[in-house]
Structure 1
């Protein structure tokens, strides 16, 4: 394995390969028609990890262990899929209401996921917990995302002013854009560990890309947890949220509530007052 992975990346491999590869015929040791032994499970996993860590092209593995591009691609896909299917429930779990309440008002960042529609599917279906909060004396049912101007006027989006005029608007714009940088820094940390994330994606189909991204996120979370820096813990006995079927009255009510432009405007006004006047009072 040392001949395939660079030494500095060995600390990133915190995956139980036995658990991941069990049940996948591809990872089983096989022999060809002439009786020659194929690649071992460890070699296939190490090749896939190297591509993730180094961001190299699949055809480069031929220089290391004479592994064809086809086998390398399949190793990358199957390992990524195995990581997601084995550990996704734990390391890609939806935040609980307690986790959301640990976040201060204004700390929720711009949405950065593979399938944006899934966010609202989960919110509309009730798979994601509601995150009620009160700001400036007004109650709100859902959490929100800090976004730029291209997003619609949903009650779950908070956009900055494109051309602010008043001092309050300028102050809010700076704070909103500054908070959105957090997710960019988080994504930068992900790219620093898994260089495959920052390279061209045209080599892979959408399904493979989805598995690769989720696998990198999962393994990043594993590293964070291993270092004792995780802020939330998996609770398998946590009660499930009430879920709503599309087309039902409850579901349609949530659609209207989320797409309420008046609440979008009111939330931004409340946040601006809370942040601007609250900060000024603290400085006096």
Structure 2
């Protein structure tokens, strides 16, 4: 993340929530600044640090660091979730179609990502109760899809028009018309070629997971918050920030090419 993007996030949460604005106490002494609070949050997210490990560097106590984390992800969800964690619109679909864009308890993340690693949809839940077979029953994206509510898509293949998008998935998913599953043991040149291309596209999601884990260490480490809704909001907050970084990188590349 660039310095300018980080500072813009600091300014956004400071303007949104009075908690992040620097104030004085009853004796007139200045309290923690917005930079201290947000930097503590980023260190916990990026390095997987516990809250009490930020005291020496940031000069912020454990309770304040934890409180800052909670306030931060709530602010991010309220400020920019509508833009950075949304269903693709008609323009987005057109761009995607023609350009491309250990035995321990775990929590799963279901995502839909494009070539640029922008995450369009994220569902977060407990494993066991939500696996590949029954995740569709509780995923809001596929719930809308089952009811015929889907992002607008229009494309032509071999002269035939299509108005519904397709999603690449593992063979364990149900046989829906909008889900293209892998071909088990493909035979023949056509099926082998299709399986190869599909596998290459499906790796975009795996790359997105890899980038999340390398960029934000808290994803790969043990969860330090017990409540599921807190973990959900933290996950949503850094997926939003991931998309903000992707957007910034794409803009930079376009400017660089010019």
Q: What is the TM-score with the length of structure 2 in the denominator?
A: 0.69
Aligned residue in 1 for 2:201: 179
Aligned residue in 1 for 2:8: 15
Answer yes or no: is 1:226 the counterpart of 2:248.
yes
Of structures 1 and 2, the larger Rg is shown by: 1
Give the secondary structure class of the aligned counterpart of 2:209: helix
Aligned residue in 2 for 1:279: none
Answer yes or no: is 1:188 the counterpart of 2:210.
yes
Aligned residue in 2 for 1:278: none
Answer yes or no: is 1:143 the counterpart of 2:131.
no
Distance 1:225 1:104, change over 3 A: closer
Distance 2:7 2:26 in 1: 35
Q: Is the 8 A contact 1:111 1:147 kept in 2?
A: no
Aligned residue in 2 for 1:240: none
The structural deviation recorded for 1:177 is 1.1
Aligned residues: 223
Distance 1:91 1:220 in 2: 9
Aligned residue in 1 for 2:53: 60
Distance 1:13 1:174, change over 3 A: same
The structural deviation recorded for 1:32 is 6.9
RMSD: 3.4
Give the secondary structure class of the aligned counterpart of 1:15: helix
Distance 2:27 2:150 in 1: 54
Distance 1:145 1:107 in 2: 14
Give the secondary structure class of the aligned counterpart of 1:158: strand
Q: Is the 8 A contact 2:50 2:224 kept in 1?
A: no
Distance 2:173 2:57 in 1: 46
Q: 5+ residue gaps in structure 1?
A: 1-7, 232-284
Aligned residue in 2 for 1:164: 186
Answer yes or no: is 1:73 the counterpart of 2:66.
yes
Q: Give the structure, 1 or 2, with the largest relative contact order (CA under 8 Å, sep 6 or more).
A: 1
Which structure is higher in strand share?
2
Aligned residue in 2 for 1:198: 220
List aligned pairs for 1:111-130, cutoff 5 A. 111=112, 113-115=122-124, 117-123=139-145, 128-130=150-152
Q: 5+ residue gaps in structure 2?
A: 102-110, 114-121, 125-135, 254-258
